[in-house]
């Protein structure tokens, strides 16, 4: 699963820590998701999409 978080984060001028605070996860979680270490849970994906005012489909690219 790929994602556009790093780019969007830059567009919105947010640090990993800022974003983490906004969606109430740890900074390490944001880092891990950006780095592709693991996929977020569905609730976390919804909160991320809400911050960037986009759909989950625009934020994440599913790869079988």
Partner DNA sequence: TCTCAATGTAAAGCTTGCTTTACATTTGAA
Partner DNA sequence: TTCAAATGTAAAGCAAGCTTTACATTGAGA
Name the nearest CA neighbour of 58 among 20, 11, 8: 8
* Closest distance of CB 53 from DNA, Å: 20
CA dist list (Å): 23 to 2, 19, 26, 31, 43: 19, 6, 9, 13, 10
Contacts with DNA, 2-41, as mask; x by CB under 7 A = -------x-----xxx------xxxxxx-xxxxx--xxxx
29 binds, among a copy of itself, DNA, none (CB under 5 to 8 A by kind): DNA
Q: Considering the rule CB under 7 A, would residue 43 count as an interface residue with DNA?
A: yes
Give me the residue label for tokens 């109430």. Answer: 24
- Kindly list the residues in this chain that would bind DNA in the complex (CB under 7 A): 9, 15-17, 24-29, 31-35, 38-44
């Amino acid at each position: 699963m790929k994602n556009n978080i790093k780019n969007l984060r830059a567009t919105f001028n947010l640090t990993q820590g800022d974003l983490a605070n906004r969606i109430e996860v740890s900074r390490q979680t944001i880092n891990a998701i950006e780095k592709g270490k693991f996929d977020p849970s569905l609730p976390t994906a919804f909160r991320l999409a809400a911050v960037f005012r986009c759909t989950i489909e625009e934020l994440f690219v599913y790869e079988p």
